[in-house]
Amino acid sequence: MRALTPLFWRSGGPFESFRQELEDYTKRFFGAPLAEVAQHAFAPSVDVAETDKEVTVKADLPGVDPKDVEISVLDGSLVLRGQKKEEREEKGKNFWRAERFEGEFYRELPLPAGVDEEKISATCTKGVVTITIPKKPAAQAKKIAVKPQE
- What average pLDDT does this structure show over 79-99? 84
Q: Do 26 and 52 fall within a single domain?
A: no
Q: Do 48 and 18 fall within a single domain?
A: no
**Domain membership flag for residue 4:** yes
Side chain identity at residue 99, one-letter code: E
Range(s) of the domain holding residue 29: 1-41
Q: Do 104 and 64 fall within a single domain?
A: yes
**How many percent of the chain have pLDDT more than 70?**
80
Q: Do 13 and 67 fall within a single domain?
A: no
**Domain membership flag for residue 20:** yes
CA distances from 21 to 2, 7, 24, 39, 110 (A): 19, 18, 5, 19, 34
Give me the pLDDT at residue 120, please.
92
Q: Cβ(63)–Cβ(86) under 8 Å?
A: yes
State the total domains in the chain.
2
